[in-house]
Amino acid sequence: MKNKKHLVIIGAGFAGLKIARMLNNHPAYKITLIDKNNYHQFQPLLYQVAMANLDASNISFPLRIIFEKSRNVSIRVASVTNIDMEKNKIETANENFVYDYLVIATGAITNYFGNKSIEENTHSMKSTWEALQIRNTLLQHFENAVSKKENILSVVIVGGGPTGVELSGALAEMKKDSLPFEYPELDFSKMKIYLLEGTSKLLSNMSSISSKKAKEYLTKLGVIVKTDTIVKSYDGLKLELNNATQIESSFVIWAAGVKGNLASGIDPQLITKSSQLKTDIYNRVISSNNVFAVGDVAFIQTEIHPRGFPQLASVAIDQAKNVANNFVLMAQEKTIQPYEYKNKGNLATIGRNKAVVDLKNPKISFQGFFAWLIWMTLHLFLLMGFKNRVIVFINWIYKYFTHRQSLALLFEPLTHKITKTTSALNSSQ
């Protein structure tokens, strides 16, 4: 182990985990994998956790189980507080690490574009915890409506990308299928679901055909879709829009943009406006020979892609494969290979039997039941762990035939429990 190069990987998302797994038990490297969670979370299905279709454990997998037979991978559950690229040093709240090579694969966080009122009053969905908070808050609103504490809820989802479209479709199906049976006291015809998009079309990375079909599906499900609509401010009760109109809602989910998730200490000149790290075609951070950035946090500018590559799971995985193979080549003192972006296509689901798929080669677009099967198969394949795949598949089959959410569980907020525990301790002293 003393002769091995120390490789530190920050982030156990698609990219970071892929590199660690490909270099698992490699004789040339000692690897430290750092993440603030002790599990890998499958972000494309977070919206199903938020809509009570799946349990959080169904899309998560413990890191220590993944590497339980590894001889060169160590797991550290910590948040990185500082990166010192000059001293090759990583700082966390618990301990510091000196590295020979560093891979930054910290992914993306929600981008509020500097609007504090939106950041403070809306719900984001970039983690399992946030998805559970959305589910809990949503169900609590319905319980409050039953007890006449408030009126029936209207939900606003901001952002017409895959997350916003899939959330809107799942919520619309929930309103139609299960909620009227679970809450017979409420009139769900009064519940409105808005999807707001700032550009002229939904699913901006997809074809016009798929975009129009997605909008058609959502409209048939009862979602009020508004394009060319930008939220200027939100006070927790009303959204102020760019066309001088307002929407009243106490529940807004913000899915309108992302930015790179970076720790402090990095030279600002290496960071783009979207908080991504500028890298070369090998995913090496500019002006560095031993620091790499991979996935959503990496910005590779080319003539064909002047704004960088799409922030998609498929891109993160492909970049990770290339970087891992280059580490193998470096250990063999061979020439490393550049990353080549290959657009395989895009897909999104809107609901039961409703999905849109764009393939790059051959260049075709199709929608409906077959597209939905492809979406479902691909996501099952990408999930980690045979058990998770089986459980998710069973949940999907159950919902498909019963039209019911099986996990509509309302939990007491953790803060309430902490308050009660603190009060009990104070009273005993």
Whether the pLDDT of residue 401 is over 50: the answer is yes
User: What's the pLDDT tens digit per position in 252-306?
Assistant: 999 998 999 999 999 999 999 999 999 999 999 999 999 999 999 999 998 888 8
The SS3 call for residue 5 is strand
Whether the pLDDT of residue 329 is over 80: the answer is yes
Whether the pLDDT of residue 427 is over 60: the answer is no
CATH 3.50.50.60 residue ranges for the chain: 5-36+78-110+259-331
User: What's the pLDDT tens digit per position in 134-145?
Assistant: 999 999 999 888
Q: Give the mean pLDDT of 183-191.
A: 91
Q: Where does 5-36+78-110+259-331 sit in CATH, by number?
A: 3.50.50.60
* Cα→Cα distances 65→41, 106, 321, 344, Å: 14, 21, 21, 31
Asked if residues 278 and 270 have their Cβ atoms less than 8 Å apart, the reply is yes
State residue 3's pLDDT score.
Answer: 80
Residues 6+ apart with CB under 8 A from 172: 193, 218, 221, 222, 223, 351
Where does 85-207 have alpha helices with state H?
116-121, 128-146, 162-177, 179-182
Asked if residues 288 and 269 have their Cβ atoms less than 8 Å apart, the reply is no
State residue 406's pLDDT score.
Answer: 67
Q: How confident is the model at residue 425 (pLDDT cuts 50, 70, 90)?
A: very low
Where does 201-333 have alpha helices with state H?
208-220, 313-331
CATH 3.50.50.100 residue ranges for the chain: 116-256+352-402
State residue 150's pLDDT score.
Answer: 78
Fold of 116-256+352-402: FAD/NAD(P)-binding domain (3.50.50)
State residue 413's pLDDT score.
Answer: 60
User: What's the pLDDT tens digit per position in 78-112?
Assistant: 999 999 999 999 999 889 999 999 999 999 999 99
CA distance 62 to 37: 9
State residue 252's pLDDT score.
Answer: 96
CA distance 142 to 283: 47
Predicted structure pTM score: 0.90
Number of helices and strands in the chain (H, E): 12, 24
Q: What angle do CA 295, 299, 305 make, to 5 degrees?
A: 110
Asked if residues 163 and 48 have their Cβ atoms less than 8 Å apart, the reply is no
User: What's the pLDDT tens digit per position in 197-217?
Assistant: 999 999 998 999 999 999 999
CA distance 174 to 231: 25
